[in-house]
Every structure is written in structure tokens, then in C-alpha cells.
Amino acid sequence: MLIHHTIAETRAALANAGRIVLVPTMGNLHDGHIALVRQARKHGDCVVASIFVNRLQFRPGEDFEKYPRTLEADCERLRTAGVNHLFAPDENELYPVPQRYVIEPPPEHANILEGEFRPGHFRGVATVVMKLFSVVQPQAALFGKKDYQQFMVLSDMVREFGVPIEVIPGETIRADDGLALSSRNGYLSEQERAEAPNLFRVLSNVVDAVRKGNKDYYALEQGAVSELQARGWTPDYVALRKKVDLQLPSAHDSGLVVLAAARLGSTRLIDNLEV
Ligand code: PAF
């Protein structure tokens, strides 16, 4: 695996690389990222991973500073998984001047769910991903469905700009007890880690209820919120939405997803399950 820290080096190295598949990450890699890499290998000749902790998508007071930077261990994992090139720029390389031009996702996507609780988050994500696309110029890119709303925003961005990149979803990878893998799981204490799979369990119960025909979505959401609160969580939302656009479903809509974000101690976890 070749490691590039500059845009010029990366572009030169990829000039004749064939069909390039990009796996953008913020590092601190876990088996979910490695599953994306394995999937990426089936979609092209050359797998490029990127590692960049993107300040633009964090709000003041969020975990930008403490986000784990584990480049050496990440390189080892990516090499073993068969990545061909790693693009790992520093901030001065990717943002040499303040980023005044940004991608502004539409409010109906950017201001709901995650966007309601993390204003500006999807602007930061879309902007850095467009930059990564411009550096790597892949033919395909993979994004995990664990960040369901992010996947939707980026797919729409690519479609509306006519960017010639295939956006491919990766399934959420879970620990044996159901907890969705996330770099932020590392923030959990032992006790919190034992409690954390209950987020998945609560969402699974909502899915079961909908599959059995319960259409009182509001009651299901409120029931899930109450159960999490009773267990000591601070939920931001539990929401049943249409998969296609994450808008509110009516009783005759099919193709739903239940999404949640909740804080356990000081750690904010997100998860979702398709119905
Ligand atoms: O999902 C992530 O890790 C990040 O949001 C991404 C897509 C790498 C952009 O910084």
C-alpha cells in the first residue's frame, strides 16, 4: 500500500490506476471500515482509502479534538485488507485557505434528524467528500449505511451535480451483541459498553412491531424513547422515516427505516434498522 500525504502525489500515483474505488474514512478503523474495503475490492481495480478527521463537520464542543488519531494501526489494517493507496492529508493540505465555498445540502435533508442536532454537519461532510472526490477522482465510492442520512445526502449530491461516481452502500457491521461498530464505541466505559447494545434491541423491537402491522409510528417512537430514558440514555430522537428521502411516512408508505441517536454518558451513539 502506498501512502500519500499530498494531493499532487496522490493524483500522480493514480493517473493510470484503472477503475478506482474510494473508501473515505476518518480513521480509527474497525471491522466496519474493513468490510467496506473488502466490498470495494469487488467494484474496481484499485482501492483507495482516505483518512482525514474533518473539522468542518464537527460543531464547537463536539469531539473533534479527542477523535482518536491512530494512523499507524490504521495503515496496518488497510494494508492487510488489500488497500492499494492511502490518502492521508493534514489540514493544511486539504484546507490550505479557509473553505469559503461549501456544498449546502437542502434543508429538508440537512436540517432533520442528525442535522437538527448537529447543525452544519452535512455541509461539512458534503464539502469534504466533494474535495476527496476531486483529489482521488474515483469511479465509485463506498459509504456505510450506519450513517444512513449521510449516505442519502451524498447519493443525492452526486446525482444532482451529475458527478460520474457510483455511490455504493455498505451494510452496518455489528458486534455479537448487536452494537453497531463505530469509532465512538471506544469512548464507552465498561458499564456503558454493556448497556450500549440496548439501542439496537430497542430499534429491533420497533421494526418487529411495524412488520407485525403496527402503524402507530408516533407511539412506537415515543415508546422507544421512554425505554431508552428509563435505562439511563438521553435520546435525541427515535424516528420512523421513509427510506427513500427520510421524510415522515404515512400509513400506506412501505420501505421504512427507524433511526436513532442517543447519548450514553457523554458518548453519542447513532444506529438505524431498515424495516
Ligand atoms: O463517515 C465518515 O467517516 C465521514 O463522515 C466521511 C464520509 C469520511 C467524511 O469526513
CA 255 – ligand 1 centroid, Å: 25
Same domain, 113 and 15: yes
Name the domain count of the chain.
Answer: 2
Q: What pLDDT digit, counting tens, does each position of 120-175 carry? A: 999 999 999 999 999 999 999 999 999 999 999 999 999 999 999 999 999 999 99
Residue 140 sits in the same domain as residue 210: no
Pair (265, 190) in one structural domain: yes
User: Do 136 and 260 sit in the same domain of this protein?
Assistant: no
Whose C-alpha lies nearest to ligand 1, atom 1?
A: 25
d(CA 71, CA 73): 6
Look at ligand 1, atom 5, and give the residue with the nearest C-alpha. 125
- CB of 182 within 6 A of ligand 1: the answer is no
pLDDT value for 4: 98
| Catalytic residue list contains 33 | yes
CB 147 within 8 A of CB 272: no
Q: What is the DSSP string of 55-115?
A: GGGS-TTSSTTTS---HHHHHHHHHHHT-SEEE---HHHH-SS---S-----HHHHSSTHH
- Tell how far the Cα of 78 is from the centroid of ligand 1, in angstroms: 16
Residue 150 lies in a domain: yes
In a domain, 114, yes or no: yes
178 found inside a domain: no
pLDDT (mean) for 35-53 = 98
- pLDDT for res 251: 87
The residue among 115, 138, 170 that closes a domain is: 170
Measure 26 CA to ligand 1 centroid, in angstroms: 6
Tell me: do 28 and 131 sit in the same domain: yes
149 and 202, same structural domain? no
Q: What is the pLDDT of residue 62?
A: 97
**Tens digits of per-residue pLDDT, 74-93?**
999 999 999 999 999 999 99
Domain coverage including residue 145? 2-170
140 and 26 belong to one structural domain: yes
63 and 127 part of one domain:
yes
Ligand 1, atom 9, lies closest to the CA of 125
Q: How far is the CA of 213 from the centre of ligand 1 (A)?
A: 35
Which pTM was predicted? 0.97
Does any domain span residue 148? Answer: yes
Q: Is 228 in the pocket of ligand 1 (CB under 6 A)?
A: no
145 and 190 share one domain: no
CATH code of the domain covering residue 245: 3.30.1300.10
- 161 with 190, same domain? no
Query: Which CB contacts under 8 angstroms, 24+ apart, belong to 55-58?
Result: 55/91, 55/95, 55/124, 56/95, 56/99, 56/102, 56/123, 56/124, 56/127, 56/128, 57/120, 57/121, 57/122, 57/123, 57/124, 57/125, 57/128, 58/121, 58/124
Average per-residue pLDDT for the chain: 98
Q: Of the listed 4, 33, 85, 121, which one is catalytic? A: 33
- Which ligand 1 atom is nearest residue 57's CA? 10
Are residues 39 and 63 located together in one domain of the fold?
yes
User: Is the CB–ligand 1 distance for residue 127 below 6 Å?
Assistant: no
Say if ligand 1 is within 6 A of residue 261 CB: no
